[in-house]
Structure 1
Amino acid sequence: MQYLRTFFLTLLVTVFVNCSKSNGNSDNYPADAPSNITITYVVSPDNSGNVSFTASATNAVNFEYDFGNGYFATSSSGSAIYKYPVSGTYTVNVTAKSNSGKSATKSVQLVISTVTSLIWSDEFNTAGAPDPAKWGYDIGTGSGGWGNNESEYYTNRSDNVTVSDGTLKIKAQKESYNGSGYTSARLLSKGKFSFKYGKIEVRAKLPAGGGTWPAIWMLGDNSSTVAWPACGEIDIMEHKGNDLNKIYGTFHYPEHSGANGMGGNVVITNATTEFHIYSLDWTASKIQIAVDGNVFYTLNNLSSLPFNQNFFAILNLAVGGNFAGAVDPNFTSGVMEVDYVRVYQ
């Protein structure tokens, strides 16, 4: 009996010791959470929006940055550089993580002031034909109605495109012309001006006729050598005369062409009776389409997409086609009026 008691006591001591060991910091249990987080930053004095961040913490092996505007970055060293595209007050959250996955977060607030410059514009203040140093034309019907089964013949006649009273006027009208039942115009800055990243604003008033299809859009500079949609297409504004006041913004690229484009739409008021500002804010990380400053679609711009090269601008007014739908038999003419085109960087 004494032997059994001794054995039982020894067994209890062994179990207790083993349990005690298992409560230590073995590989099966997480290390302490990061602590003593510090964040320092330097805002570039040139108003470029560039900010250099440095974070440190005890027990941290990785840092995740939330720059306060929907953009994120990961850094094993704790250092990060980010360029804010627009002015504002931002709350930056930095999360430090340990090897075990435990984390701790600290926040700082910073004020950013950025300055952009107007690098190109057309204010349409000189009456007559559009400035030939800034605009060229697509002429004719294109293959299969510019690939969209459109019904118009594009010209550079003053009947279809002119500048007067401080605005550009692109006029679609019903007439028999070179085998087509309608005429209109399509202007483009190809070979005259293109840009990569920045902001483009176009203030315009749209036509109302059923079957009209005004558009403000862009194509990659390599569109002549690379088949669409590999060159990329950005539709800043499209509107259907058969569905008034609904504004579409769409991106076309491989695997997302035609009706499979990536985009959205928004309903506004008085699109055909008042001027509105249609804009694109474009960076290496995201592209936003807006009306009157209100963003209605955002595309995350990846390095694999074709939206990291120069693009040129296009202004046109189509009639009929796959997107616009049937033309109202009573339609005789409609005008897209453009007050200005401005590009900032």
Structure 2
Amino acid sequence: MRNLMSITISIICALALLACKKSDGDPAPTNVAPTNLVIQSTVSMDGSGKVDFKSTANNATSYQYDLGDGESLVSTNGIASYIYKKAGTNTYVVTVKASNASGQSTSKSVQVSVTVAGAAEPQLLWSDEFNTNGAPDPAKWGYDIGRGDNGWGNAELQYYTNRAENVSVQDGKLKITAKKENYSGAAYTSARLLTKGKYSMKYGRVEISAKMPEGVGTWPALWMLGANIETVSWPNCGEIDIMEHLGRDLNKIYATLHYPGRSGGNADGNTRTIANATTEFHKYTLVWNSSIIQMLVDDQPIHTVNNSSSIPFNHNFFFIMNIAMGGNFPGPVDPAFTSASMEVDYIRVYDR
């Protein structure tokens, strides 16, 4: 009887010890809301309005920032930057929501006081107002000529030309027109203008006022490529897509960066839906410096990326404007499509 009792007590102790060891080794439960949320903010003192944020929390996998001015952004590692635009010194309540994979979350707010210099106006460095009828200014613009599926990828269907039927300046607007016609073996024609070899820039603010074409299968774009593309190739040169629009998905504006590790279908981008993209002019903006790359439409952010020496966005880039037809991204062209134009009112480059 005593031996049996001793064996029973030993088994109970062993089970208790195993339970303690198992408990000690268990990972943190994923259905518990994040804890110990800490928010750090560093406000730039140069009047630029830039604020760097860093948030940490236990058991968190993403952080959503409500920036206090009606805008928000999401960061997976808690690190984010934002540029406030209202001139003067203003205080914003920034709320951070830390979440985990199971949807549990916790929130915390901090105040940031930001000064945006309003006395000095940005300096215009380069522009085209498209005020002279005829062909685009040859001192500013050249052309890519040829089949869209021969050298540019994406299985596009157009042939790019420099004909007046496809590109012209009329009534203060640049018009790039895609047409359904048989031309040099292609079913469509269009135009692709670029400033390569004529103008490039590093850092600053770009503003483009444009109206998109209508038609399923159209793919207009306002974008930039690294000026070193001939020596390092793509995507090592970097690509900045300030604006892309798909005729099959009206009013959704794409803003995207392409670079090694984040190119093609794995590109670094986001979208914002607007109204009347094909019937009204909208302002598409790039804010670019050594710390941040931000694309906006009508001053509303679409996508923001922290710039650094690890990505290829710290050298000169040139501009490209074009309409592609069909291919991998926009999909098939509507058989009823005949022609459509992207109109550009102006492009302006400022020092900040």
Question: Normalising to structure 2: TM-score of the pair?
Answer: 0.70
Q: For 2:129 and 2:217, how far apart are their aligned partners in 1?
A: 28
Following the alignment from structure 2 to structure 1, what is the Cα–Cα distance between the partners of residues 334 and 149? 24
Query: How far off its partner does 1:115 sit?
Result: 3.0
Asked if structure 1 preserves the Cα contact closer than 8 Å seen for 2:44 and 2:51, the reply is no
Note the 1:7-46 alignment, pairs <5 A: none
Cα displacement string for residues 40-92 of structure 1 (whole angstroms, at most 9, x for unaligned residues): x997xxxx748xxxxxxxxxxxxxxxx862368xxxxxxxxxxx896542669
Q: Deviations over 1:88-125 (max 9, x none)?
A: 42669xxxxxxxxxxxx998765533431010000000
Give me the whole-angstrom Cα distance separating, in 1, the residues matched to 2:306 and 2:236: 17
Q: State the structure with more CA Rg.
A: 1
Give the corresponding residue for 1:204: 210
**Distance between the aligned counterparts of 2:344 and 2:242, measured in 1?**
14
Aligned partners of 1:107 and 1:166: how far apart in 2? 43
Question: Which residue of structure 2 lines up, in the alignment, with residue 226 of structure 1?
Answer: 232
Structural RMSD (CA)? 2.6
Q: 1:234 to 1:173 in 2, by over 3 A?
A: same
CA distance in 1 between counterparts of 2:246 and 2:168 reads 23
Question: Are residues 1:284 and 2:290 paired?
Answer: yes
**Equivalent residue, structure 1, for 2:89:** 89
Structure 2 match to 1:3: none
Unaligned runs of 5+ in 1: 1-40, 51-66, 73-83, 93-104
Letter in 1 for 2:89: T
Once the two structures are TM-superposed, the CA of residue 299 in structure 1 deviates from its matched residue by: 0.6
Look up the equivalent residue of 1:309 and give its one-letter code. Answer: H
Q: Is the 8 A contact 1:68 1:90 kept in 2?
A: no
The alignment status of 1:112 with 2:112, answered yes or no, reads: no
Match among 174, 177, 190 for residue 168 of structure 1: 174
What residue is the counterpart of 1:78 in the other structure?
A: none
Please say if 1:69 is aligned against 2:74. no
2:254 aligned residue: 248
Contact 1:237 1:278 in 2 (8 A): yes
1:321 is aligned to 2:303: no
Alignment of 1:127-206 (within 5 A): 127-142=133-148, 144=150, 146-206=152-212
Equivalent residue for 2:310, pick from 273, 286, 304:
304
- Kindly provide the amino acid, as one letter, of the partner of residue 70 in structure 1: D
| Aligned residue type for 1:339 | D
Q: 1:214 to 1:142 in 2, by over 3 A?
A: closer
Structure 1, 134-143 or 190-199: larger mean CA deviation: 134-143
Whole-angstrom distance in 1 between the partners of 2:248 and 2:288:
30
- Asked if 1:121 corresponds to 2:127, the answer is yes
The 8 Å contact of residues 153 and 184 in structure 1, kept in 2 or not, is answered as yes
Aligned residues: 263
Alpha-carbon distance, 1:144 to partner:
3.9
**Distance in 2 between the 1:106 and 1:212 partners?**
45
- CA distance 1:68–1:168, change in 2 (3 Å): closer
Contact 1:203 1:338 in 2 (8 A): yes
Please give the alpha-carbon distance, in whole angstroms, between the structure 1 residues aligned to 2:175 and 2:312: 31
Using the aligned pairs only, state the percent identity: 60
- 2:218 aligned partner, one-letter code: T
Partner of 1:76: none
Residues 108 and 118 from structure 1, CA distance in 2 versus in 1: closer, same or farther, beyond 3 angstroms?
A: closer
| Runs of 5+ consecutive residues of structure 2 not aligned to the other structure | 1-42, 55-82, 93-109
Instruction: Report the AA paired with residue 52 of structure 2.
Output: G
